[in-house]
Chain A
């Protein structure tokens, strides 16, 4: 174990260095909502990005892990699941920087975290939830969640008014907004098909990512694991834009790439940026306009 305050003098390795930089960028893109944590976290993240010696300092990452844990505890139980993942991941970076082979330790911790996240997500959808496998979750979600509204209009062949009516039916006051008209549920065959597709596609792809990272795949390991993670990030976040989750998955994916695979590292940077585009570019609205 090394001194947590003294920067390591040897190189971390290209992949681990990129993973750490992306992590600091994520913290800059997702500022903490607690005022007394925000300036310290942003300052640490800026220093990590700007000063290579601080990037390799375990104490800087230990401090970030503690601050992110304080955020989760302070706001508990409201934080989203990826805010917990920020704590585990920055803790993994801190611990890896204390190790003699930081790149190896970080890659291993990243692998198990990806397995853990996707196994628990699959467990909830496949076993623990009472209303997922029968399709109810997505049938309701597609019609009530504003983030899905355009995909629902696009694929489900519904008008904005029909979605509004369905929302009032499924979320009657006081659960939703009061509606002066008698609410009516219009669930087109397209919505039903889309809900069935999303139900099974999500379960299968999340289970596939968990298995890809859990099992050894011999010489196909890189293709299977990173292909599964790219497929998940590239598809799931196009519909459900939770970029903060996708970005941390990218950072954990990068940490598992061998240093000599530059193309794969670049692919992760591309997916990282793609998630930002998903967040900002209303591509479903463009498609709706083209179709109209």
Chain B
């Protein structure tokens, strides 16, 4: 190999090595934009650099759980062991996470002997503000309804 082609080879290697981190950044950021639009990810999270760009931050989201049974429908407080899962589900309320959370809630209700239940509804919402008055309006981002049949929740 001549010294010139060797130099070109080194320049190409250097160029490739310096490009890998920015390519990774762009792939993650594009994936974040997809997740925000397709699965309701908070724009503040996911590596897309959407922080300080919208009121829809992860702390501003709310997860609501209701269970239905012979006694009717009632909203319940989230069981302590499920706080971590609920927090993740409110940041990224994908179908899979909401279903898993609803199943865990149904199992928890059964363990606690809180009476028979036929359905668990989980919804994630955030506040949208009026552009003029800033009046807050809750908006449901995503929700999941789990039918509970017999002793094991239906998938």
Of the candidates B52, B91, B133, the one whose C-beta lies within 8 Å of that of A77 is: B91
Q: Which residue of the partner chain B has the closest CB to A121?
A: B49
B107: CB under 8 A from chain A?
Answer: no
A175 touches B46 (CB 8 A): no
Q: Which residues of the partner chain B approach A99 to less than 8 Å between Cβ atoms?
A: 13-14, 17-18
B21 A117 Cβ-Cβ under 8 A:
no
Whole-angstrom distance from the CB of A248 to the nearest CB of chain B? Answer: 12
User: What 0/1 readout, one digit per residue, does chain A (110-136) give for beta carbons within 8 Å of chain B?
Assistant: 001101110011001100111110101
The answer to the question of B45 belonging to the interface, with a C-beta cut-off of 8 Å to chain A, is yes
Q: Does B76 contact A (CB under 8 A)?
A: no
B82 at the interface (CB under 8 A from A): no
A12 within 8 A of B: no
The stretch of B24-32, B98-106, B113-121, B146-154 in contact with A is B24-32
Establish whether residues A96 and B17, one from each chain, have CB atoms under 8 Å apart when the complex forms: yes
Which of A49-57, A100-108, A154-162 is the contact stretch?
Answer: A100-108
A78 and B91 form a contact (CB under 8 A): yes
Looking at B13, B49, B55, the one whose CB has the most chain A CB atoms below 10 A away is: B49
Residues of chain B within 8 A (CB-CB) of A264 are none
Q: Are B49 and A128 in contact (CB under 8 A)?
A: no
Total contacting residues, chain B, CB less than 8 A = 49
Closest Cβ–Cβ distance, residue B125 to chain A (whole Å): 9
Task: Give Cα distance in the complex from A101 to B12, angstroms.
Answer: 12
Q: Pick the contact of A1 from B13, B15, B18, B53 — CB < 8 Å?
A: B13
Q: Secondary structure at chain A's binding surface: helix, strand, loop or mixed? A: helix
Across the interface, which residues of A come within 8 angstroms of B46, CB to CB?
77
Q: Does A172 contact B (CB under 8 A)?
A: yes
Bound-state CA distance A85–B60 (Å) is 24
The answer to whether A170 touches B53 (Cβ under 8 A) is no
The answer to whether the Cβ of B1 comes within 8 Å of any Cβ in the partner chain is no
Using CB atoms, name the residue of chain B closest to A136: B129
Chain B residue with minimal CB distance to A203?
B53
| A231 CB–B CB distance under 8 Å | no
State whether the Cβ of B131 lies closer than 8 Å to any Cβ in chain A: yes
Closest to B61 in A: A175
Query: Taking the complex as formed, is A137 at the interface, i.e. its CB lies under 8 A from any CB of chain B?
Result: yes
Closest to A119 in B: B49
- State how many angstroms separate the Cβ of B74 from the closest Cβ of chain A: 15
Residues of B within 8 A of A (CB): 10, 13-15, 17-22, 24-26, 28-29, 33, 35-36, 41-56, 58, 60, 62, 87-88, 91-92, 127-129, 131, 133-134, 136, 138
List 30 A-B pairs, Cβ < 8 Å: A77-B42, A78-B45, A78-B87, A81-B44, A81-B49, A92-B21, A95-B18, A98-B17, A99-B13, A109-B19, A109-B20, A117-B49, A120-B25, A121-B49, A124-B43, A124-B54, A128-B53, A129-B53, A131-B56, A132-B54, A137-B52, A137-B55, A139-B134, A140-B129, A140-B134, A169-B136, A170-B127, A170-B129, A170-B134, A171-B60
Given pairs A113-B25, A129-B43, A171-B136, 19 additional interface contacts (CB within 8 A)? A78-B58, A80-B51, A81-B48, A84-B25, A84-B47, A95-B17, A95-B21, A96-B18, A109-B20, A112-B19, A121-B49, A124-B49, A124-B54, A125-B53, A128-B43, A132-B54, A137-B54, A140-B55, A175-B136
Q: Please report A residues at the B interface, Cβ cutoff 8 Å.
A: 1, 72, 77-81, 84-85, 87-89, 91-92, 95-96, 98-101, 104-106, 108-109, 112-113, 115-117, 120-121, 124-125, 128-132, 134, 136-137, 139-141, 169-172, 174-175, 185, 187, 202, 240
Shortest 5 CB-CB distances between A and B: which pairs? A112-B22, A84-B47, A108-B18, A120-B49, A124-B50
